[in-house]
Chain A
Amino acid sequence: MIIEIERLQLYYGAFHALKNVNLSIPENNITAFIGPSGCGKSTLLRTLNRMNDTIQGVRIEGDVTIQGRNIYASDTEVEFLRKRVGMVFQQPNPFPKSIYDNVAYGPRLHGVTKKADLDALVEQSLRSASLWHEVKDVLKKSAWSLSGGQQQRLCIARALAVEPEILLMDESTSALDPISTTKIEELTRELRQKYTIVMVTHNMHQAARISDRTVFFLNGEVVEASETETLFRAPVDQRTEDYISGRFG
């Protein structure tokens, strides 16, 4: 288990957003978080790289352990944590820089300066995000000139360039067209060989198609977590069954 979440409570001011979450996430696996809007799935995802730190009024109790280390311990370096736990957002958010500089941004932050090293990292990351063949001749062009799907794959390449172990994907295909979505889904399946992927999705079919494990959230609680096959074929909890059969949400 690469990620262990124990007795996690999270509050936005007075609002109790995550209620006693206990969850283990295995390595080199795709884990999908599903559930209706506002159920806390994105919030939990954002506790894994401490992106919630930037929001005012968030209070967290409990333990989140990644590779045996509590990431909420006082000696945790948040920047180093985020280098190991990459994130891809819902809206593609490339920087207003060239394609090359977007991918090189992370490595440069962490001290890679030699051009040859950067070149190699950029190529390798773009290949891993299956974007290299489309952009290898236009690396100096603005990233904002790419299509939405290409921009999202660029954001994946950018996240891979800092050599993370875990990749968090927060509804990363919900702003994309079906063809781009398929490409990213295929890419996610490939990336699973090398990375642990945790994704939030609004789309149950997407979870069923590509994830190995699925976690169902409702009102800030984990209702059910199991192998994707099991969860969709034979859910244990009545609420899970109601949700996946479309009776609410």
Chain B
Amino acid sequence: MNLPESRSTADPAPPQTGKIAKHHLEEWRGKAYVYLCVLLLVVIIFSIVVFIASRGLTPFISQGVSIKEMLFGLKWAPEDDTPVFGALPFLVGSFSTSLIAALIAAPLGICASIFMTEIMPKTGKSVLQPAIELLAGIPSVVYGFVGLSVIVPFLRHTFPGQGVGIMAGAIVLSVMILPTITSIATDALRSLPAGLKEGSYALGATRWQTIARIILPTTMPALLTGVVLGIARAFGEALAVQMVIGNAPHIPHSLFESATTLTSIITLSMGNTTTGSLHNNALWSLALILLIMTFLFVFIVRLLERRVKRS
């Protein structure tokens, strides 16, 4: 439409190609940098896995420990004349503390996020969310310390037993994973299309009916993702649990008796072993079990996420 202008663009054509070449260079540099970062990340993760696996598999391959003994054996006596490596008590301890912690934290966290998004969205955003984020920032040693000086005495006075044990560990862990569950649930509830809620209200549903029949069922896979990530965090937590669980390497008869977990046995024993010894390698086997469990949790989360996307 304006011919004179289009004619004038005809002659600065060469500088334009120079500009494009510069773009290519920038593009290439950016690409190279990003690829390098990813490569580094992959190499690091891969080496960690290979390292843990090579150490952790040695007892089974060349040091005469059977996988069956490790997974189902009840006795852990690594320094005996004929050492035994039964890790079942640790597995039981790890699973029971994390699962009980999730059972306590999941209803609390999900209800808190419903309150923050549906019932008092303003207060939720300005007061409760920062408070819960703060909870995530408290160091685990502090949680352990509070657990040791508050929860353990409380349990000791209220229930038979020493107070230390799975229940104490689970309570401490439940507070620690509450932020994970709550913040993931809050994100899920906030991302729910407003139209769904309006549609429900417009049919004469009360707030509670809308929460129970629309909001919770629709966001369930995402809520479960939060719970599984919470369990994964609880499973991997060492310090706080170690401080309150009692660290006795056997399966307890009640929730209020001393027990131990995979993580606490590793942290407690690793200083007393020499690299390459059977005992040291057996601890690596425990680390390998932890790693495999983490993969499993990630896998479950992926499955749940796929369900979220499909719906």
Residues on A facing B (Cβ under 8 Å): 49, 51, 54, 56, 79-83, 86-87, 89, 91, 93-97, 105-106, 109-110, 142, 144, 155, 158-159, 162
* Complex contacts, B201 vs chain A, CB 8 Å: 51, 54, 82
Q: Are B204 and A79 in contact (CB under 8 A)?
A: yes
Residues on B facing A (Cβ under 8 Å): 122, 193, 195-196, 198-206, 209, 213-214, 217-218, 311
* Complex contacts, B203 vs chain A, CB 8 Å: 82-83, 86, 105-106, 109, 158-159, 162
Q: Are B204 and A110 in contact (CB under 8 A)?
A: yes
Which of A82, A95, A155, A159 contacts B214 (CB under 8 A)? A95
* Complex contacts, B193 vs chain A, CB 8 Å: 93
Q: Are B200 and A86 in contact (CB under 8 A)?
A: no
For the complex of A and B, 8 pairs with smallest distance between CB atoms: A93-B195, A83-B204, A87-B202, A106-B203, A82-B204, A93-B199, A79-B204, A96-B311
Using CB atoms, name the residue of chain B closest to A168. Answer: B202
* Complex contacts, A86 vs chain B, CB 8 Å: 202-203
Contact A109/B218 with A51-B198, A56-B122, A80-B204 known, Cβ cut-off 8 Å = no
What is the distance, in angstroms, from A85's C-beta to the closest C-beta of chain B? 9
Using CB atoms, name the residue of chain B closest to A88. Answer: B202
Sample (24) of A-B pairs whose CB atoms are under 8 Å apart: A51-B198, A51-B201, A54-B198, A79-B204, A80-B204, A82-B201, A82-B203, A82-B204, A86-B203, A89-B199, A93-B195, A93-B199, A94-B199, A95-B196, A95-B214, A96-B196, A96-B218, A105-B200, A109-B204, A109-B213, A110-B204, A142-B311, A159-B202, A162-B203
Which of A80, A93, A109 contacts B196 (CB under 8 A)? A93
17 extra A-B contacts, CB within 8 A, seeds A51-B202, A91-B195: A51-B201, A79-B204, A81-B204, A82-B201, A82-B203, A86-B202, A86-B203, A89-B195, A89-B198, A93-B198, A94-B199, A95-B196, A95-B199, A95-B200, A109-B209, A142-B311, A159-B202
* Complex contacts, A91 vs chain B, CB 8 Å: 195
Q: Are B204 and A105 in contact (CB under 8 A)?
A: no
What is the distance, in angstroms, from B308's C-beta to the closest C-beta of chain A? 11
Complex formed: what's the CA distance from A186 to B193 in Å?
29
Q: Are B195 and A109 in contact (CB under 8 A)?
A: no
* Complex contacts, B214 vs chain A, CB 8 Å: 95
Complex formed: what's the CA distance from A89 to B194 in Å?
11
